[in-house]
């Protein structure tokens, strides 16, 4: 496993904490999948709310790495302010940076993203930017101080999988030494396997598990899928061919006359 800001994860699954039928089911999903990272967003109604405090206590009891995010932020100022609040509450420099630019697709505002990443990196944050597969934007994020890139597979919550295989493959090849995480769009275990087979280092997902009919079983399936994809990538798989190639050699085969 590749390290993320010096932290090596035991499991490439990063799991969100929203949308579950209950906190108990969420906790069971984490226990079953052994996800290494929990992503959390700040409750907008304030940290003094008792329900909010109970939720944070449950998150802390998961005994995983906490990755606060700036979900729902549409400006640099809002994202930076939210990040500082998250650091104070969760006592971590990790931050999943979201600066949303399009309401319907939840596509990142890549211009604001780069600016916010630079500000937060200078403030000592270790930024995990939710971005696109654009190589130019990725370069700018790295220059801004990011050491991890998190391109989307598809729009958040869409479950479409990996919409731009070519772009993601190019990103993996271009940034061979950078930890890459597929963030958003995963809907099926097969999507998660495909991401790992492309050589990505982790997958971050939420809706596919939380909104499944059986979130705990889906969490288990996702963990198995990631492990299978990672093992397949490590096995140096064969390249696809344009033509058929017999698996049984012709040489030495008996011929009847």
Annotated ligand binding at 17? The verdict is no
* CATH class held by domain 13-235: alpha beta
Paired residues of 67 in beta bridges: 39
Residue 204's H or E segment, with its range, is strand 202-205
Annotated ligand binding at 157? The verdict is yes
What gap in Å lies between CA 142 and CA 146, rounded to an integer?
5
SS3 215: helix
Do the Cβ atoms of 47 and 53 come closer than 8 Å? yes
Per-domain residue ranges of the chain: 13-235
- State pLDDT tens for residues 31-80: 999 999 999 987 543 455 555 677 778 888 888 999 999 999 999 999 99
- State pLDDT tens for residues 169-206: 999 999 999 999 999 999 999 999 999 999 999 999 99
What gap in Å lies between CA 201 and CA 88, rounded to an integer?
28
Active site (annotated) includes residue 96 = yes
* Residue of 34, 96, 140, 253 with catalytic role: 96
Please give the structure tokens belonging to residue 253: 């085969």
Annotated ligand binding at 11? The verdict is no
What is the mean predicted confidence (pLDDT) over 15-36? 95
Annotated ligand binding at 234? The verdict is no
């Amino acid at each position: 496993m590749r390290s993320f800001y010096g932290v090596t994860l035991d499991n490439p699954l990063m799991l969100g904490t929203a949308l579950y039928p209950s906190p108990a089911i969420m906790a069971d999903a984490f226990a079953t999948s052994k996800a290494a990272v929990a992503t959390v967003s700040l409750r907008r109604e304030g940290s003094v709310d008792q329900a909010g405090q109970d939720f944070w206590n449950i998150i802390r009891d998961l005994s995983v790495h906490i990755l606060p995010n700036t979900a729902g932020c549409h400006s640099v100022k809002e994202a930076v302010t939210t990040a500082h609040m998250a650091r104070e509450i969760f006592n971590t420099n990790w931050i999943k940076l979201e600066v949303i630019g399009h309401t319907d697709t939840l596509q990142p505002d890549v211009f604001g993203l780069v600016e916010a990443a630079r500000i937060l990196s200078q403030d000592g944050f270790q930024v995990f930017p939710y971005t696109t597969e654009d190589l130019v934007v990725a370069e700018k994020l790295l220059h801004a101080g990011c050491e991890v890139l998190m391109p989307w597979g598809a729009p958040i919550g869409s479950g479409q999988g990996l919409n731009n295989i070519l772009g993601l493959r190019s990103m993996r090849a271009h940034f061979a030494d950078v930890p890459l995480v597929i963030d958003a769009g995963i809907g099926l275990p097969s999507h998660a396997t495909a991401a790992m087979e492309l050589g990505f280092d982790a997958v971050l997902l939420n809706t596919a598990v939380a909104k499944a009919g059986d979130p705990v079983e889906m969490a288990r399936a996702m963990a198995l899928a990631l492990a299978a994809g990672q093992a397949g990538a490590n096995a140096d798989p064969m390249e696809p061919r344009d033509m058929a190639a017999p698996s049984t050699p012709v040489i030495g085969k008996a011929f009847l006359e």
